[in-house]
Structure 1
């Protein structure tokens, strides 16, 4: 049985479409659900972050109360033809110009709480899956990296473009990448500003699987089916991973403070570059809507 749920209800513009398959313990979180009705940028706006955090809390509490042997799965994906274009650069630019350190830090901390929750299985042993069907940039890439399994369709492009405006991805990229590749490779991905194909990242171990276009959902089903064969072993492995490879939330919070303080030192040239990227994202959305 599948049930579509809007979360959270207080927002007038729903940004997250949730499909709950209770019988299979699979929970689909579709970002950017609001863009079909009102075109905007497919990035981490404050309403989207609030929706994700709210649903994470809601689902985590339910999972901790249940008494079942199976492992639940939460899938992070998108209702648009991009996964996520990253942080809200328009908001960043305004807060930096206004020297609003607390506002920028609060945004960053909320993002960190969200990605860490996916990494930590919502504190309830949930297996998180990122299904990438289109571009995943900056914070969008970081969100995918926070998940236990990353599946991308052919043609998806991923990258960390923050260096283009003299910043670095500070909401989990380094911590999560270093669990998949060497620190040297992680730093290269973070500082070269390049876009990479899903195939390139799969070859070096950043992405778990690349499948033909249109077959991403089936690939998710295959992961769920495989995990269901050995639920106790998988649950135990989640505990082992958390002990041996877990990313500390305090570490991530400290890194994001470095990100905020670096952002506040950006000059006019960097901010103008940020503004150009905002306009490029808006033009892309307009083309998609047309």
Structure 2
């Protein structure tokens, strides 16, 4: 375990890193310090060649992240509010989405506002049966500011995204799975185990291929998507992972990436 952070716990084991947001007294709400610490941990893990998959979760069994810490920005003006949102995008949310290693959210309870936006920035989402997800910003006279209006429609479709954003309703985990917002739902006591099982499977595959797949998939709704896929597909033919993977297949053994 690494203890250089105050609001998160960072652990590494068997090619997998676990970041636990640890502010249970505030239901793991995101404040500036927590955002900066998660960002720093991601930078550390991105350059750690032993780590191939990252899991992001919250401490306890009540909340993944209950939202942004409203007390921090309650008196902001327009300029400061735009700076807050832009810094959040650049420092954390976009960083997760564009990280070269898969990030899996283990949503262990409330994922509201910035918490749901954090989960949506991750590449895969597993949730506990007690999880509740929503974007309540319009009840504060605001809109989501950390990517909610952009990522939610891509995951669930524009109509459902509009309903969730306009109504500010929370939805249960099973409903979130039905609409494609989360991949799987498990009992709270199984959530982290199941998430680690998936991470282990991913960690045994080619890290270079997965990195290219992340970048290509992130462009799937742009006019650059197909050309990027073709380019990366070709590039991988020159890399050691492809040589090992194909050799292992032909030799009927498991690849060693």
TM-score when normalising by structure 1: 0.69
Cα deviation for residue 86 of structure 1 reads 1.0
Secondary structure at the residue paired with 2:219? helix
Which of 27, 33, 38 is the equivalent residue of 1:47?
33
2:34 counterpart of 1:58: no
Q: How many angstroms apart in 2 are the aligned matches of 1:154 and 1:93?
A: 32
Which of 6, 11, 16 is the equivalent residue of 1:19?
11
Secondary structure at the residue paired with 2:181? coil
Which of 2, 16, 31 is the equivalent residue of 1:4?
2
- 1:131-153 CA deviation, whole Å, 9 max, x = no partner? 11111110000000111110001
2:101 counterpart of 1:115: no
Residue 171 of structure 1: aligned partner: 146
Q: How many angstroms apart in 1 are the aligned matches of 2:215 and 2:33?
A: 32
Which of 187, 192, 212 is the equivalent residue of 2:187?
212
CA contact (8 A) 2:137 2:144 kept: yes
Higher relative contact order (CA 8 A, sep 6+): 1
The 1:191/1:106 distance shift into structure 2, 3 A limit, reads: same
CA contact (8 A) 2:28 2:59 kept: no
Q: How many angstroms apart in 2 are the aligned matches of 1:90 and 1:72?
A: 36
Cα deviation for residue 182 of structure 1 reads 1.4
Equivalent residue runs for 1:266-285 within 5 Å: none
Q: How many angstroms apart in 1 are the aligned matches of 2:28 and 2:190?
A: 22
Runs (4 or more) in structure 1 with deviation over 3 Å come to 232-236
Secondary structure at the residue paired with 1:87? coil
CA contact (8 A) 1:159 1:196 kept: yes
The 1:107/1:200 distance shift into structure 2, 3 A limit, reads: same
Residue 227 of structure 2: aligned partner: none
Q: How many angstroms apart in 1 are the aligned matches of 2:36 and 2:209?
A: 33
2:82 counterpart of 1:105: yes
Residue 262 of structure 1: aligned partner: none
Q: Where in structure 2 are there 5+ consecutive unaligned residues?
A: 223-257
Cα deviation for residue 109 of structure 1 reads 2.1
Q: How many angstroms apart in 2 are the aligned matches of 1:143 and 1:186?
A: 16
Equivalent residue runs for 1:212-231 within 5 Å: 212-231=187-206
Question: How large is the RMSD of aligned CA atoms in angstroms?
Answer: 2.1
Which of 55, 69, 72 is the equivalent residue of 1:75?
55
Secondary structure at the residue paired with 1:179? helix
Q: How many angstroms apart in 2 are the aligned matches of 1:190 and 1:40?
A: 23
Q: How many angstroms apart in 1 are the aligned matches of 2:65 and 2:153?
A: 22
Cα deviation for residue 203 of structure 1 reads 0.4
